[in-house]
Amino acid sequence: MDKQEIIQADQDYFMNVFGPRFPMVLEKGEGVYLYDNEGKKYLDFTAGIAVNALGYNYPEFSEALKEQVSKLIHASNLYYYEIQAKLSKLLIDNCYADKVFYSNSGAEANEGAIKLAKKYFKEKDEERYEIITAKNSFHGRTLKTLAATGQEKYHKPYTPIPQGFKYVPYNDLAAIKEAVDDKTAAIMLELIQGEGGVNPATQEYIKGVRELCDQEGILLIFDEIQTGIGRTGSLFAYQDYGVEPDILTLAKALGNGVPIGAFLAKDEVAQAFKPGDHGSTFGGNPLACQAAYTTLNIILNQGVLDNVKEVGTYFYNRLLDLKDKYDFIKELRGMGLILGLELEMEAKEIVTKVIENGILVLTAGKNVLRFLPPLVISTEDVDQVIGVLEKVFSQIN
């Protein structure tokens, strides 16, 4: 099929939830580059929305997957798997938690986290079932997680939405204190709101929320689906804040493109789940576990976190120069390799122009230009992006 035929088939056969996509048909990836079916090459600063931490066709990753595909892809959670055991040990050895459960997506990881929080209080015979989340948050697209998402536009098509959520302004400790009552089971927060516009939580806020949860005896859930697995320069962003959650959710980069999510907790919380309380057919199958195990090993042992810190700082400073130069850039936010430029104009217009120059970048909300490159990019890749941004921005002024 040629490009026009593929786009036409999409219009004919695929449910129209994405609207018109960027008009390119991607065919393969290599390193930090994607290639379309007309041979055009794109430097990728989206990483499949924070998924492809190692970029494309990372040799060790591709080899491990090929081997796993020919050995065993799936046989259900009725049985044990060495690769699942190894992944669980590796994750637990490298974070605050004692137990993990695997899902297939971020939304499902958050669903599981919400179920665990509710079950925890059920076990204690306490009538606590409400979850407090932040305005402008994003927690997924299942009915329960879109209800958890503090953005009106996601609720509207599905009212009445599931009950049991309260929304508070982000980074406002007084508001969250006010919102807690005797029905509150948990507070669920992103440490940097990704889809909501690359808004980092402040240190005082996260410390304050942790203290609040301890005082009230309620659970703290960090949704690190976008910030986890090295994105901020630590394996998990909670480590940058020096504050541990009760429940941690992961997905996006965990499998470097193979769908896998996870939620983790300390024993005290995890023991609330009894046999039969939760489950998944696909979750944590050998292929997904091999993907996550290999990704984590590479990130932990091949200098990826140091690269994120180094290149992230370099990128931040280069973006700061742009901000000083162009008045329509209102703010630069983020850490590591999750960075956002808030603009006066709609970010989508800029994204389109940047893509025309062979570079893929993202929006977040209406006005934020968002960068989520593979964690293995170099300063030369950053220079290329800055060069194109310069060109596009200078045509605006």
Ligand X SMILES: *Cc1c(COP(=O)(O)O)cnc(C)c1O
Q: Which residues bind ligand X (CB under 6 A)?
A: 105-107, 110, 138-140, 190, 194-195, 223, 225-226, 251-252
* Residue 66 CB burial class (10 angstroms; 0-12, 13-18, ≥19): exposed
Closer to ligand X by Cβ: residue 119 or 252: 252
| Per annotation, catalytic residue among 61, 101, 223, 246 | 223
Rounded to whole angstroms, the Cα distance separating 292 from 274 reads 26
Name the residue with the smallest CB distance to ligand X. 106
Q: Among positive and negative, which fits the CA dihedral 124, 127, 129, 132?
A: negative
Beta strands in the chain (DSSP E): 26-30, 33-36, 41-44, 99-103, 130-134, 165-168, 184-189, 192-193, 199-200, 219-223, 247-250, 261-265, 329-335, 338-343, 359-360, 362-364, 368-371
Rounded to whole angstroms, the Cα distance separating 151 from 176 reads 17
DSSP state of 272: T
Q: Residue 103 Cβ, how far from ligand X at the closest point, in Å?
A: 9
Q: Residue 248 Cβ, how far from ligand X at the closest point, in Å?
A: 12
Closer to ligand X by Cβ: residue 363 or 384: 363
Q: Residue 108 Cβ, how far from ligand X at the closest point, in Å?
A: 7
Closer to ligand X by Cβ: residue 194 or 230: 194
Q: Residue 109 Cβ, how far from ligand X at the closest point, in Å?
A: 8
Q: Is 223 a catalytic residue?
A: yes
Q: Is 98 a catalytic residue?
A: no
Q: Is 36 a catalytic residue?
A: no
| Per annotation, catalytic residue among 138, 263, 273, 371 | 138
User: Angle, nearest 10°, between helix axes 59-71 and 286-301?
Assistant: 160
Could you give the C-alpha distances from 47 to 21, 139, 338, 395, in angstroms and in order? 17, 19, 11, 27
| Per annotation, catalytic residue among 61, 144, 252, 381 | 252
Closer to ligand X by Cβ: residue 362 or 388: 362
Q: Residue 156 Cβ, how far from ligand X at the closest point, in Å?
A: 19
Residues taking part in catalysis: 138, 223, 252
